[in-house]
Structure 1
Amino acid sequence: MIRLDKIGKQNGRQLVFVEASAALQKGEKAGLVGPNGAGKTTLFRMMTGEEPPDEGQVSTDRGITIGYFSQDVGEMSGRTVVAETMAGAGPVSVVAAELKEIEAGLADPDRADEMEALIERYGEVQARFEELDGYALEGRAYEVLAGLGFSQEMMDGDVGKLSGGWKMRVALARILLMRPDVMLLDEPSNHLDLESLIWLEDFLKNYDGALMMTSHDREFMNRIVTKIIEIDGGSLTTYSGDYGFYEQQRAMADTQAQAQFERQQAMLAKEIKFIERFKARASHAAQVQSRVKKLDKIERVEPPKRRQTVAFEFQPAPRSGDDVAMLKGIHKKYGSRIVYEGLDFSIRRKERWCVMGINGAGKSTLLKLITGTATPDAGSVTVGGSVKLGYFAQHAMDLLDGEATVFGDLEASFPQAGQGSLRALAGCFGFSGDDVEKPCRVLSGGEKARLVMAKMLFDPPNFLVLDEPTNHLDIVTKEMLIGALAQYEGTMLFVSHDRHFLAALSNRVLELTPDGVHQYGGGYTEYVARTGQEAPGLRG
């Protein structure tokens, strides 16, 4: 349906693509992967025709519709959420707008002389509207919005009053409602809670068009895609299978390439040694000449490209007492909304609690109560003796000094630490080379999250409280974080919508539901096995 043939693309001085080729066939579901800045968004823009390649060509089957969801959602205001969603539903929304216009014309006495033409056109447009299943459009719009977590009140409310994250969901709903022949989705899993994520997963699995998407959520990608297109060093490589299979294939290919490179290097060293040894001897002149020619003709094998992943190792955290945090008889409400009514909950040393619950169930509120950033209306919160608490919250990223550089911020936080250890810390969290000199104000969401995380874990607390720590993190950084936290000796309490993160790190589950609070021994995997659901809001 869309083919990229030997495309070349340069952004400024950066070569993004060099003779890169790939294809998306009818009904295929592909994951697009590559390091940040590799050119994923540029590729999408070329596929939609927004940006031409400098060389090569992008060919698209005639007459196909393409729906592109990007992180840049643009301005939305002046309509209800459901109207905004329907307005972006492609050809059907254009027909709906014309139908409305003709209806207004038919009711306008000043246009009586056009009546015959209007009635004729109305018949044509109405037939087209029916053909496009237009009368079912509003019902489908409500269905898609409900799946993405909107309440009835929000759907009928002003789209302009929504936060950026909810506007993203509206932009995504528009593409899903459109049901184009090809969907290009750039990070559709961002800003979604677990329930919406699982709903979207089912929707995309049942979608019969072609799909190409990026996602930092490996579980989400694994369940949908059947092939991976990787951008690496300007080229595109296609692997059949899901993300897990791609990782295995990639590792095998790297191992083989490294072995081939080392074999050739050993052979070249041997030949060069022979030439050096005998080049001054007349008796060996012919042999030396022949070997020099042979070396000139040999095509050099490139070593595999090194992916920059540095493992982060925790300093051992000081040991806390056995009772880490105790909540007794907690009451908490915001306005008329009761969040907790008599909550009792305690956390013991080395427990790793993940907190589950639908939007508004009180997950972040619980974390705020324990960290002292919110106070209960009644009841008590006690943090145990010798507990050193570290709290990662989304707002922490807004508190970074915009003018300080990454390295300057680390130095200001740890004046006693040596330059070497701070550079190593920055490197572990993806800041290498000149990246450490970037001012904090120009950092992306992911970079800010990594910097805040680095500062929290350098001098480790023995009780980590994490609110959506993997938001904005790419798959590689997530893996590094999971690997590091798996080695962590302290206690953890966290909220996350990343199922891989939940399964890898939890050994207890606290589930907040409208009919009460439930505690489960065993981690997220056991919770899924026992409840038969991956998230509380999916229970029938």
Structure 2
Amino acid sequence: MIRLDNISKQNGRQLLFIEASAALQKGEKIGLVGPNGAGKSTLFRMITGQEPPDEGLILVDRGITIGFFSQDVGEMSGRSAVAEVMDGAGDVSTIAAELRELEAAFTDPDRADEMDQLIERFGEVQARFEELGGYALEGKAREVLAGLSFSQAMMDGDVGALSGGWKMRVALARILLMRPDVMLLDEPSNHLDLESLIWLEQFLAQHEGALLLTSHDREFMNRIINKVIDIDGGSLTSYAGDYEFYEQQRAMAEKQQQAQFERQQAMLAKEIKFIERFKARASHAAQVQSRVKKLDKIERVEPPKRRQSVSFEFLPAQRSGDDVAALRGVHKSYGERVIYQGLDLLVRRRERCCVLGTNGAGKSTLLKLVTGATTPDAGSVALGGSVKLAYFAQHAMELLDGSRSVFESLEDEFPRANQGSLRALAGCFGFSGDEVDKPCRVLSGGEKARLVMARMLFDPPNFLVLDEPTNHLDMATKEMLIAALAQYEGTMLFVSHDRHFLAALSNRVLEVTPEGIHDYAGGYTEYVARTGQEAPGLHA
């Protein structure tokens, strides 16, 4: 369906692709992987014709429809979310717009004398709308939006009033409703809650068309894809199987290449030693010349390319009291909407509580109550003795001073720390070399999240409250964070839609429901086993 034939592409001084080739066949669901900046988004833009390759060809079969979802969703306003989603469905959306105009004309007194023509035209347009499955289309659009956690009011309200994250869901819904022959999805799992993520996973698993996607969610990838294309050092390498199998294959290939490299290096060293030893002896001249020629002809084995992986270790934090946070008789409402009524909750030392709940159930509100970011309408919230709290909230990234560099931002936070330790901290969170001099205003969402994390964790708290800490983080940073938090000896209260993160770190589950909080001892894996569901209201 799509073939990349010996493509080369340079971005500034960076060579992204060097005579790279790959193909997407009918029915394939491919995960596109590679380190940040390797060229994943550039590859999508080349396939969709937004950018040409410098050399080589991108061949797309005739008549193939391609739907492309990217993080840059553009402007949306002036119509409902349903109308915006249906607009992506081609001719039928144009006819739907004319139907709406005709319906409005019927009630316009200035056009009363045109009524016969309007009725005749309405009949023609309505017939064509039915022929194209228009009435079913609106139902399907609402079904897709509901799957992505939209309420009826949000579906029918002005799309311009939605936040950036919800607009991204509208843009994603357009592609899903379109059901193209090929879907190109660049980070579709960002900004989704757990329920929407699982719904999308099931939708894409059942989709009959081909799929090429990037995602930083390994569980999501594992359940959808049947092939991996790895971008590394300018080349494209294909692996059959899911993401987990790819990791195993890649590790095995690296191990084999390292062994070949070491064997060849040992052989070369032996030959060079012989040449050096006997090159001055006439009696060995023929043997020396023979070995020199042999060395010239040997194709050198390259050592395996190493993905740079960093690790972060917590400094020991001060021990807190056994009772870390206590909520007693807490009431909280937003206008007419009651979130908590008489909530009692105790978080104890070394607990790692993950908070689950449907969209709008009050997960983030619970975190805000505990951290003091919001106050209860009634009842009390108290932190225990010697508790030092750090709170990662989504808006924390917006509070970074755009004029300060990454390094200056760390210095501002820790004026007494020495430069070496701050540079080491920056390196742990993916800012090496000149990257520490980047001003905060040019940082991507992922870079901002990493910087906020670094500022939080350098002077270790003993109580971490995290609201979606893995949003925007790539897989390598996420793995580093999980490894660091697994060694962390403090207390955690967190919300996350990443099931790998939930399973690796939780030892208590708090499920927020309209009837109150259901408390489960044991982590997320035990919660799934006991309830038969991966998220509230959804079955595993």
Relative to the length of structure 2, the TM-score reads 0.94
Alignment partners' CA distance in 2, 1:243 and 1:232: 16
The answer to whether the aligner puts 1:487 opposite 2:492 as a matched pair is no
Alignment partners' CA distance in 1, 2:63 and 2:152: 36
1:415 Cα deviation (Å)? 2.5
Residue 302 of structure 2 corresponds to 302
The answer to whether the aligner puts 1:406 opposite 2:406 as a matched pair is yes
1:50 Cα deviation (Å)? 2.1
> 8 Å contact 1:7–1:20 — kept in the other structure?
yes
> 8 Å contact 2:390–2:461 — kept in the other structure?
yes
Describe the SS at the equivalent of 2:446: helix
- After superposition, the CA RMSD in angstroms is 2.4
Q: Which runs of 4+ in 1 moved over 4 A?
A: 94-115, 125-131
1:38 Cα deviation (Å)? 0.8
Residue 291 of structure 1 corresponds to 291
Alignment partners' CA distance in 1, 2:422 and 2:192: 34
Residue 316 of structure 1 corresponds to 316
The answer to whether the aligner puts 1:347 opposite 2:347 as a matched pair is yes
1:323 Cα deviation (Å)? 0.9
> 8 Å contact 1:225–1:242 — kept in the other structure?
yes
Structure 1 unpaired stretches of 5+:
none
Query: In the TM superposition, what are the counterparts of 1:162-311 in structure 2 within 5 Å?
Result: 162-311=162-311
* 1:327-375 deviation per Cα after TM superposition (whole angstroms, max 9, x unaligned): 1000111222211110000011111100111122111111111111211
Change (3 A) 1:366 1:277: same
1:420 Cα deviation (Å)? 2.2
> 8 Å contact 1:99–1:122 — kept in the other structure?
no
Residue 77 of structure 2 corresponds to 77
Alignment partners' CA distance in 2, 1:66 and 1:25: 13
* 1:283-322 deviation per Cα after TM superposition (whole angstroms, max 9, x unaligned): 2222221211111111111111111111211111111111
Residue 375 of structure 1 corresponds to 375
Alignment partners' CA distance in 2, 1:127 and 1:67: 28
Opposite residue 373 of structure 2, the aligned amino acid is T
> 8 Å contact 1:102–1:122 — kept in the other structure?
no
Opposite residue 212 of structure 2, the aligned amino acid is M
Residue 35 of structure 2 corresponds to 35
> 8 Å contact 2:231–2:237 — kept in the other structure?
yes
Residue 133 of structure 2 corresponds to 133
Alignment partners' CA distance in 2, 1:87 and 1:110: 31
Structure 2 unpaired stretches of 5+:
none
Opposite residue 533 of structure 2, the aligned amino acid is Q
1:326 Cα deviation (Å)? 0.7
Residue 54 of structure 2 corresponds to 54
Change (3 A) 1:98 1:379: closer
Alignment partners' CA distance in 2, 1:103 and 1:431: 58
Alignment partners' CA distance in 2, 1:10 and 1:382: 56
> 8 Å contact 1:85–1:171 — kept in the other structure?
yes
How many pairs align?
Answer: 537
> 8 Å contact 1:4–1:22 — kept in the other structure?
yes
1:131 Cα deviation (Å)? 5.2
Query: In the TM superposition, what are the counterparts of 1:418-429 in structure 2 within 5 Å?
Result: 418-429=418-429
Relative to the length of structure 1, the TM-score reads 0.94
Alignment partners' CA distance in 2, 1:261 and 1:517: 57
Residue 415 of structure 1 corresponds to 415
Alignment partners' CA distance in 2, 1:270 and 1:131: 78
Describe the SS at the equivalent of 2:89: coil
**Between the two proteins, what is the percent identity of the paired residues?**
80
Alignment partners' CA distance in 1, 2:374 and 2:473: 27
1:412 Cα deviation (Å)? 2.3
Change (3 A) 1:94 1:50: farther
Describe the SS at the equivalent of 2:177: helix
> 8 Å contact 1:105–1:111 — kept in the other structure?
no
Describe the SS at the equivalent of 1:520: strand
1:255 Cα deviation (Å)? 0.9
Q: Which moved more, 1:190-199 or 1:404-413?
A: 404-413
